[in-house]
Amino acid sequence: MDRDFLIDLFSDFGPVTIRRMFSGFGISADGINFALALRSGLYFRADEATIAQFEAEGSTPFQYQTRAKTVTVNSYWQLPARLFDDSEELSVWARAALAAAQRAALRKRPKPRKAAKKTVTRKAVSNKMAAGKNPASKKPKSKAPKKRAS
């Protein structure tokens, strides 16, 4: 699949952004990636709300081989071949895939980070020990205000 073919394929859906990714293209709308066009086919984003649709069509999730095993990516499912000839229905499936990608993006929002505690590394302690300073014998500073001489 080349870029021009994909642009034509998604013409009923609306404008899409197509970027090189892996051995093919990543397809996005509104800044959210919802499809992958790879050598092995076209894959749409899926979730618990849409996987049953793919299963009913006999589709399978995206898979790839590593040296040790086959990895299955259940969040992308192969688009049924019949949809390549029906651009109107393909746009319905693409909207569902975009909605699944948007739901996944909402679930993936980063949590606010807590302030990091200052830690003393072993190297810092050993450097102080080598300099003749024992970090364990250090007395904590008093937070009481100093008395002024009058």
Can you list the residues of the chain whose pLDDT is less than 50?
none
Write the single-letter amino acid at 5: F
Give pLDDT, residue 2. 84
Q: Where are the domains of the chain?
A: 3-107
- How is domain 3-107 classified at the architecture level of CATH? 2-Layer Sandwich (3.30)
Give pLDDT, residue 66. 92
- Single pTM value for the model: 0.69
Give pLDDT, residue 42. 95
Give pLDDT, residue 1. 77
The per-residue pLDDT for range 29-60, each reduced to its tens digit, is 999 999 999 988 999 999 999 999 999 999 99
Closest to 42 (Cα-Cα) out of 4, 7, 80, 74: 80
